[in-house]
Homo-oligomer: A and B are copies of this chain.
Amino acid sequence: MTDKRSEKRDALRTKIIALAQKRIAAHGLSSLRARDLAAEAGCALGGLYNMFEDIDALVLEVNARTLADIDHVMTRAVQANPPAPQQLKALAHAYLSFAREHPLSWRALFEHHLPEGRDVPDWYSESLTHLMARIAQPLALLRPDYTPDVLAKRARTMFAAVHGVVSISLDNRFVGLAPDTLDSELERFVDVLLVGSTHH
């Protein structure tokens, strides 16, 4: 039998992350409370701080899992739509769908900020980079002339643009686009990007 210590430790840690994930998905990042989590996980308040540096560290764990979920739906989208332009359109729609189906988890990705002077850990940056690579893959087919560096930049810019459109469309601050026209608006927008990106 292996360490009973690290066993229980890992079990609790995993449980807390799952609970935080559920709570964020159901009521948003701002509803996350140390006391609620501890009570629901069945440990003392201070116990959380044995598992995580602080609440921010816990949020990073949850957000990394959300990123993995997004990567999953994006991977499926690419696989199901062979020609490169269709793949990029499918990626945009997959991103929009995820944002719509899991709005609070998705918003938590961008709402959350580490306190001044603290940088995101490398493992988190890498999962972002990994997501960008999903976009770079079909874009490389469309623009074989791009060097790896340029390709990475363009993929990131394309993601940023689509994210911006999705983000502002789902933001209730801005006067609404009817939700059902959003799909077609995004479709048209990706067409603009594709035409502009390939027509030299």
Our pick among B157, B172, B177, B194 for the contact of A185 (Cβ within 8 Å) is B157
- Is A163's beta carbon under 8 Å from chain B? yes
What is the copy number of this chain in the assembly?
2
**Count of A residues near B, CB < 8 Å?**
40
Interface residues of A in 137-179 (CB under 8 A from B): 153, 156-157, 159-165, 167-169, 172-175, 177
Q: Is A116 an interface residue (CB 8 A)?
A: yes
Chain B residues contacting A43 (CB-CB under 8 Å) are none
Please indicate the chain B residues that have their CB under 8 angstroms from the CB of A128 in the complex: 173-175
A153's partner among B164, B185, B196 (CB-CB below 8 A) is: B185
Closest B residue to A172 by beta carbon equals B119
Which of B111, B160, B185, B195 is close to A199, meaning CB atoms less than 8 Å apart? Answer: B195
The answer to whether the Cβ of A189 comes within 8 Å of any Cβ in the partner chain is yes
Q: Is A81 an interface residue (CB 8 A)?
A: no
Asked if A120 is at the interface (CB within 8 A of a chain B CB), the reply is: yes
Contact residues, A59-87 vs B (CB, 8 A):
none
Q: For residue A167, which residues in chain B have a CB less than 8 angstroms away from its CB?
A: 160, 164
CB A176 to nearest CB in B, in angstroms, measures 10
Q: Which residues of A contact B (CB under 8 A)?
A: 28, 30, 111, 113, 116, 119-120, 124-125, 128-129, 153, 156-157, 159-165, 167-169, 172-175, 177, 181, 185, 189, 191-197, 199
Would you give 20 A-B contacts (Cβ < 8 Å), ordered by A?
A30-B113, A111-B113, A119-B172, A120-B173, A124-B173, A125-B174, A125-B175, A153-B177, A156-B174, A157-B185, A157-B189, A160-B164, A161-B164, A161-B165, A161-B189, A163-B164, A164-B168, A192-B197, A194-B196, A195-B195
